[in-house]
């Protein structure tokens, strides 16, 4: 009996050796949170390439020639969709290779929320450069390119682990389709990932229970999915679109909001200007913290998604449970 695993392994290797096992599919992924899920499912087979690397933000990203070259060589490309990664829309349309492009915002089973408008979330009408921020086309009136079907949902979909599970299922399915020789590996990794996502969800629910409904202010309006899942309450964002810095009127509106809320928390993000945070908290009792919803400060890895979500929960818990 003890010989069995070795025998199986040997025959598996032989079998794989006679097929195209050596060539793991060439996979390219747009942004870190999705890359992490793809990397987890590809563990033991290969590593996906990432486009928005390092501290870059998907909202302000510009394609480099190396990114275009990577897309051209890819067998499989994962992105959320044009609302999140606007910079990828034209390069993907222009792609002359046979790559399969997986638009994850179309994955079955996603829970989608309308892009929010109104109140302190109202986007500024002036100085709009016409770029989308996070919303699918048409979601924000002032950002509408006007050339697509209007669905109007917020595309920061990964900030609910149940959506991450829907992504993971679609990622697994498409990897199996593209590379059937490694199907078993993808399926096993996929099943492990689903279990870990459920455990993460339970952990965050427990952890955030004590700070439910305590209002706080964030840098950009990325958090709806997290709010709905864990009943935390964002009272406003400094900017709706990181591409467009807020004007004086919005700044003073947020400053008033922060002052009215009293001992609230205001959260910066690692990719963006911290000076604005000081301006909106000046003379108030607000505390400050950092949230990193797009993982600008995290190293790419199969575990990044878990670090990202735990990082959000820890920052919220730490700042909001400190009554000051
Ligand atoms: Zn965003």
pLDDT digits (tens, 9 = 90+) for 220-268: 989 999 999 999 999 999 887 777 788 899 899 999 999 999 889 999 9
Please say if the pLDDT value at position 126 is more than 50. no
**Shortest CA distance to 202 belongs to which of 292, 311, 309, 109?**
309
Least confident of 127-136, 149-158, 181-190, 280-289: 127-136
- Under DSSP, is residue 266 helix (H, G, I), strand (E, B) or coil? strand
Given strand 215-220, what is the order of strands in its sheet? 233-239, 215-220, 265-268, 287-290
CA 123 – ligand 1 centroid, Å: 14
CA 84 – ligand 1 centroid, Å: 7
Q: Higher model confidence: residue 16 or residue 39?
A: 39
CA 201 – ligand 1 centroid, Å: 21
CA 132 – ligand 1 centroid, Å: 10
CA 55 – ligand 1 centroid, Å: 13
CA 109 – ligand 1 centroid, Å: 22
CA 35 – ligand 1 centroid, Å: 16
What pLDDT does 17 receive? 44
CA 209 – ligand 1 centroid, Å: 25
Say whether domain 136-155+204-320 belongs to CATH 3.40.50.1980: yes
Please say if the pLDDT value at position 22 is more than 60. no
Can you read off the two tokens belonging to residue 267? 């959260």
CA 31 – ligand 1 centroid, Å: 11
Name every residue whose Cβ is closer than 8 Å to that of residue 31 and which is 6 or more positions away in sequence. Answer: 50, 51, 52, 58, 79, 80, 84, 85, 294
Cβ atoms 190, 169 nearer than 8 A: yes
Least confident of 43-47, 115-119, 277-281: 115-119
Per the prediction, the chain carries an average pLDDT of: 85
Please say if the pLDDT value at position 125 is more than 90. no
CA 236 – ligand 1 centroid, Å: 14
CA 85 – ligand 1 centroid, Å: 10
Please state the domain extents for the chain: 18-108+158-201, 136-155+204-320
CA 93 – ligand 1 centroid, Å: 23
Least confident of 30-39, 282-291, 302-311: 282-291
Q: For tokens 């079907």, name the residue.
A: 149
> Do the domains 18-108+158-201 and 136-155+204-320 sit in the same CATH topology, yes or no?
yes
- Determine the average pLDDT of the residues in 48-66: 94
Cβ atoms 135, 79 nearer than 8 A: no
Please say if the pLDDT value at position 5 is more than 60. no
pLDDT tens for each residue of 199-225 = 999 999 999 999 998 999 999 989 999
What pLDDT does 120 receive? 54
CA 212 – ligand 1 centroid, Å: 22
Please say if the pLDDT value at position 175 is more than 80. yes
Please say if the pLDDT value at position 79 is more than 80. yes
CA 264 – ligand 1 centroid, Å: 22
What pLDDT does 31 receive? 98
CA 268 – ligand 1 centroid, Å: 13
CA 243 – ligand 1 centroid, Å: 10
Confidence band for 271, pLDDT divided at 50, 70 and 90: confident
Q: For tokens 């190293």, name the residue.
A: 299
> Architecture of 18-108+158-201 per CATH?
3-Layer(aba) Sandwich (3.40)
CA 217 – ligand 1 centroid, Å: 15
CA 22 – ligand 1 centroid, Å: 37
What pLDDT does 119 receive? 44
CA 156 – ligand 1 centroid, Å: 6
What pLDDT does 103 receive? 98
Q: What is the distance between the alpha carbons of residues 231 and 210, in angstroms, rounded to a whole number?
A: 10
Cβ atoms 141, 117 nearer than 8 A: yes
Confidence band for 62, pLDDT divided at 50, 70 and 90: very high
CA 242 – ligand 1 centroid, Å: 7
Q: Which residues of 234-249 are buried (b: 16+ CB within 10 A; e: fewer)?
A: bbbbbbbbbbbebeee
């Amino acid at each position: 009996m003890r010989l069995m695993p070795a025998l199986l392994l040997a025959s598996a290797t032989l079998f794989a050796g006679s097929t195209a096992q050596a060539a793991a599919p060439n996979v390219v992924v747009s942004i870190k949170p999705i890359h992490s899920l793809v990397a987890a499912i590809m563990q033991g087979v290969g590593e996906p390439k990432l486009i928005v690397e390092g501290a870059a933000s998907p909202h302000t990203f510009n394609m480099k020639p190396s990114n275009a070259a990577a897309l051209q060589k890819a067998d499989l490309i994962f992105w959320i969709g044009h609302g999140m990664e606007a910079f990828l829309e034209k390069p993907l349309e222009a792609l002359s290779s046979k790559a399969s492009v997986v638009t994850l915002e179309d994955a079955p089973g996603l829970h989608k929320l309308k892009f929010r408008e109104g109140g302190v979330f109202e986007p500024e009408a002036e100085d709009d450069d016409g770029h989308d921020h996070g919303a699918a086309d048409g979601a924000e009136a002032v950002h509408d390119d006007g050339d697509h079907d209007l669905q109007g949902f917020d595309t920061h979909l990964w900030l609910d682990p149940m959506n991450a599970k829907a992504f993971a299922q679609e990622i697994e399915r498409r990897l199996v389709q593209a590379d059937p020789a490694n199907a078993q590996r993808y399926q096993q990794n996929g099943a492990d990932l689903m279990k870990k996502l459920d455990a993460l969800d339970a952990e965050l629910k427990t952890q955030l229970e004590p700070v439910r409904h305590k209002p706080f202010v964030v840098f950009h309006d990325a958090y709806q999915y997290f709010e709905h899942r864990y009943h935390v309450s964002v009272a406003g964002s400094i900017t709706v679109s990181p591409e467009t810095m807020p004007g004086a009127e919005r700044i003073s509106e947020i400053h008033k909001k922060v002052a009215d809320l009293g001992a609230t928390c205001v959260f910066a993000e690692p990719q963006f200007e911290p000076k604005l945070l000081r301006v909106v908290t000046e003379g108030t009792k607000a505390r400050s913290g950092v949230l990193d919803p797009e993982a600008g400060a995290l190293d790419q890895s199969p575990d990044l998604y878990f670090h990202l979500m735990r990082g959000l929960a820890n920052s919220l818990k730490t700042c909001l449970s400190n009554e000051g």
